[in-house]
Structure 1
Amino acid sequence: MDLKRGFLQSLSLLDELLELEEESGNFMEAVNIAKMMGDILREADLLAKAGEFLEAYELMFFYVLAKSLWSGGSKAWPLKQFTPKAELLGRALTFAKEVSSNFYELAFTEAEILSNKHDNNFEIMNQLQSSRIHSSIRGEVLCLRKLLDSHFWLNSS
């Protein structure tokens, strides 16, 4: 195995090395290779295979957040939609479910905030309250920013 690793590394065949590590069940080694390749989604999936569900959720959540803020050369705010957003949030929630039921509730609230499905002030306030209950500062910040946007939008009309 070490000879195969050394050979593939010497030729910079990271895709093949990643497959070899994954097939051998060396998921944390595969995670490191995916990280070197910059393949965040694969890294999250491999973290989940390694049983690191919290880290897998965090990585997927921040990937979706970054894509929502800065996709297509946008200027960050407001949150944008992109094609696989709902699917990626679903995968993140699958990882969160494996952590604990309490953590899943927090993750569900954060996913709801990022989904942009409910943008009326009542729903945003409910999400803000849930974020506070779960001590989610990032949920609070995102909700407060949405409330500010709503306020500015109403005052500019």
Structure 2
Amino acid sequence: MDLKREFLQSLCLLDELLELEEESGNFMEAANIAKMMGDILREADLLGKAGEFLEACELMFFYVLAQSLWSGGSKAWPLKQFTQKAELLGRALIFAKEVSSNFYELASTEAEILSNKHGNNFEIMNQLQSSRIHSSIRGEMLCL
């Protein structure tokens, strides 16, 4: 295994190395390779497979936030919709559920905020209050 790893690294064949690590069940190694490649979504999925659910959820949320702000040449505010947004928020919530019920509640609030489907000011105020209860600076900032 070490020889295969060294050989693939020496040729900079990171895709093949990532596959090798994942197939071997070395999910943290595979996640680190995905990180080196800049493949954030793959890194998050591999962190989830490694049991690092909190990190996987946070990484997914940061990806969604970045895409919501700067995708398609946007100049940030307000949050934009993009094709995979609902799916990615759902995957983040699956990871959050594995952490704890309190974290899942926080993640649900943040997912709701990031979805940017606020019906009215009352909903926004409820999300702001929930963000404050859970000490979520990200949630508070997005509500304001």
TM-score range, shorter chain: over 0.9
Percent identity of paired positions between Structure 1 and Structure 2: 92
Q: Distance in 2 between matches of 1:75 and 1:101?
A: 35
For 1:17-66, what per-residue CA distance to the aligned partner results, in whole angstroms no more than 9, with x for missing partners? 00000011111110110011110000000000100000000100000000
- State the Cα distance separating 1:10 from its structure 2 match: 1.0
For 1:60-117, what per-residue CA distance to the aligned partner results, in whole angstroms no more than 9, with x for missing partners? 0000000000011111000000000000000000000000000000000000001012
For 2:46, the equivalent position in structure 1 comes to: 46
Instruction: Detail structure 1 runs of 4+ shifted over 3 Å in the superposition.
Output: none
Q: Distance in 1 between matches of 2:74 and 2:19?
A: 35
Instruction: Give me the TM-score of the superposition, normalised by structure 1.
Output: 0.89
- State the Cα distance separating 1:119 from its structure 2 match: 3.9
Q: Distance in 2 between matches of 1:51 and 1:58?
A: 13
For 1:150, the equivalent position in structure 2 comes to: none
Matches within 5 A, 1:57-96: 57-96=57-96
RMSD, aligned α-carbons:
0.7
Q: Which runs of 5+ in 2 are unaligned?
A: none
| SS of residue matched to 1:76 | coil
Q: Distance in 2 between matches of 1:142 and 1:66?
A: 12
For 1:21, the equivalent position in structure 2 comes to: 21
- State the Cα distance separating 1:137 from its structure 2 match: 1.1
Q: Distance in 2 between matches of 1:106 and 1:119?
A: 20
For 1:1-21, what per-residue CA distance to the aligned partner results, in whole angstroms no more than 9, with x for missing partners? 000001111111111100000
The answer to whether structure 1 residue 117 and structure 2 residue 117 are counterparts is: yes
Q: Greater Rg, structure 1 or structure 2?
A: 1
For 1:55, the equivalent position in structure 2 comes to: 55
Q: Which runs of 5+ in 1 are unaligned?
A: 144-157
